[in-house]
Amino acid sequence: MATHPLASPPNVTTLIASEDPEAPTPGPRRAFRSGLEWVAVVVVALVAAVLVKTFVLQTFFIPSASMEHTLNINDRVFVNKLAYDFHAVHRGDIVVFTPTATQRRIIGPGIDDLIKRVIGLPGETIQGIGDHIYINGKPLNEPYLSTGVVPTAGAVPLYKQKIPPDEYFLMGDNRGESKDSRYFGPVRRSQIVGRAFVRVWPLSRFGFI
């Protein structure tokens, strides 16, 4: 008597896969979940950017000629806001600081932040004599100044004075066009936002400063 082949059993693999909780979700659900993931990525990126700008690194725009030719009008620089959490403020550093209300009145309206170079440190005596600046009675070497710039140039003389503790005497590299500590006095450490360390724009002038 002829025998009949047994009917094939159900596709066990297919049945199990259809009940697998890790199986791919249907199209609309997958798209929704993917959308949430992208939203999360964007939010995290924005938060990170805000934190970096607030606490670590910020770009500043140069609006005036006071730092020429180290920094020209429309240049942009990166400022390290954490620099002075790890080391002291050094002579020659280029710093961004926030002027006080009194300093703003001297500088003029519309100024939120200024960028200048550190010339005198706390406790030092600074004075302009002839064409040179003297620190504690010794002439200051300023190789960063452009050829022909007179270190003491400006409408306000650099009178002999002792810089108070925790304060810094700041000046622009373009001495004749800079309203600086000669006009509004030394700047407190707490006013300093950070140290400018690299010029990022224009690209043709990209480099450390």
Q: Which residues are catalytic?
A: 66, 116
Q: Which residue, 111, 85, 112, is CA-closest to 194?
A: 85
| Separation in Å, CA 158 to CA 51, 61, 119, 177 | 40, 28, 12, 14
Kindly state the helix (H) or strand (E) to which residue 129 belongs, with its residue range: strand 125-129
Question: Among positive and negative, which fits the CA dihedral 94, 100, 101, 103?
Answer: negative
Distance, CA of 114 to CA of 61 (rounded, Å)? 10
Distance, CA of 52 to CA of 57 (rounded, Å)? 6
| Residue 128 token pair | 């302009």
At residue 41, what are phi and psi to the nearest 5 degrees? -60, -45
Task: For residue 193, count other CB atoms closer than 10 A to its CB.
Answer: 18
Residue 205 has, within 13 A of its CA and on its CB side, a CA count of 15
